[in-house]
Amino acid sequence: MARAVRIKDIAEALGLSTATVSRAISTPGRVAEPTRSLVQAKAAEMNYRPNVQARSLRTQKSMSIIMAVRDIGNPFYLEVFKGAEAAAHDANYTVLMGNTENNPSREAEYFEMLRDGNADGMILMTGSIPDGWKGPNGSVVVALEMIEDGGFSQVVIDNAAAAQKAVDHLVAQGHRRIAHIAGPEGEGMSARRKAGFVAAMAAHGLTLPPGYLQPGDFGVDSGREATRALLALDTPPTAIFAANDEMAFGVLHEAQHQGLRIPDDLSVIGMDDIHLSRAVFPPLTTISQPRQDIGRHAMEMLLSQLGGTDDPQETLLPTTLIERATVARPRNEGTQP
């Protein structure tokens, strides 16, 4: 393994001091013209790559941002990551993903990294902060899952408006008996989607019979179970809005298993527009979130806070309804339950 080239090597090759070389590379403004381009040319020629460890040891800045997520195995976060990384890259920051797996001690670990200077900032997508955290909130931006009263900047999507879009679309097709399968109890995101659904139904003057609000946990199986319950009702719904796509897959599965035809016998709308939503049969009508935008916005906010000291801001990102093949007019339209 050829030894990595250092500033010292360039300096010697050019008969300059390491200080000048360092300046020519990291603060080109502070060095005279002929020297500057000379150094930069030589550095490129020798294939010089700064030693980030040494640099951050000296500057006391790690130039890295932690993105803490619940489950690194969820492709959704990867899209957010891509957006965040693109924004960070331009500012020479590195993004590393931290996996908390809903484990408070792992979460605390990442906050420690922040405090110890192993990371300069954090994009928090876990929906919770360690007890007693009272660091400089400017180094944290909360995304996706809101945290109330923390004084953090936040980037979230408009969950209530998204639910409303789903209901509006269904109602426009003539549906009046619409049910909802909610996400995990106690999560703000699920609560907002549910509340948005309830509000939208009320706005259309539609009633919500008992059992039309099913609990779920964002997993396929819970979508299946909820559907079983829904279809066993005396007057089952003609349409179901699931709080995420995986539960919507459960709906498709169970309905087809019971011999119903989608969308003729039952309309379905999901939420998230995950990769496979267009691959299932029939292709799922769903609501898409601007995943990369979430990451990009959060990173831009964080970077700007890291510079000056902006006041905490809140960004609400819009969603889009993707019409595919799981929504049709109901068979017996207009029948109020």
Q: Which residues contribute to the site for DNA (CB under 7 A)?
A: 3-4, 6-8, 15-20, 22-23, 25-27, 30-32, 34-36, 48, 50-51, 54-55, 57-60
For 121, phi then psi, to 5°, come to -160, 175
> Please, which residue, 118 or 173, has the CB nearer to its own copies?
118
- With CB cut-offs between 5 and 8 Å by kind, which of DNA, its own copies, none does residue 6 bind? DNA
- Integer angstrom CA distances of residue 290 from 108, 175, 293, 318: 29, 27, 5, 8
- With CB cut-offs between 5 and 8 Å by kind, which of its own copies, DNA, none does residue 184 bind? none
Residues that bind its own copies (CB under 8 A): 1-2, 4, 47, 49, 51-54, 56-57, 62, 72-75, 78-79, 81-82, 96, 112, 115-118, 135-136, 139, 220, 246, 249-250, 252-253, 256-257, 276, 278-281, 283
**What's the min distance (Å) between Cβ of 19 and DNA?**
3
Query: Would you give the end-to-end CA distance of the chain in angstroms?
Result: 75
**What's the min distance (Å) between Cβ of 243 and DNA?**
46
**What's the min distance (Å) between Cβ of 174 and its own copies?**
25
CA 210 to chain centre: 33
- With CB cut-offs between 5 and 8 Å by kind, which of its own copies, DNA, none does residue 40 bind? none
CA 140 to chain centre: 15
> Please, which residue, 36 or 55, has the CB nearer to its own copies?
55
**What's the min distance (Å) between Cβ of 226 and DNA?**
52
- With CB cut-offs between 5 and 8 Å by kind, which of its own copies, DNA, none does residue 307 bind? none
**What's the min distance (Å) between Cβ of 90 and its own copies?**
16
CA atoms within 13 A on the CB side of 271: 29
- With CB cut-offs between 5 and 8 Å by kind, which of DNA, its own copies, none does residue 309 bind? none
For 53, phi then psi, to 5°, come to -65, -50
Residues 98 and 87: their CA atoms lie apart, in Å, by 18
**What's the min distance (Å) between Cβ of 91 and DNA?**
15
- With CB cut-offs between 5 and 8 Å by kind, which of its own copies, DNA, none does residue 257 bind? its own copies
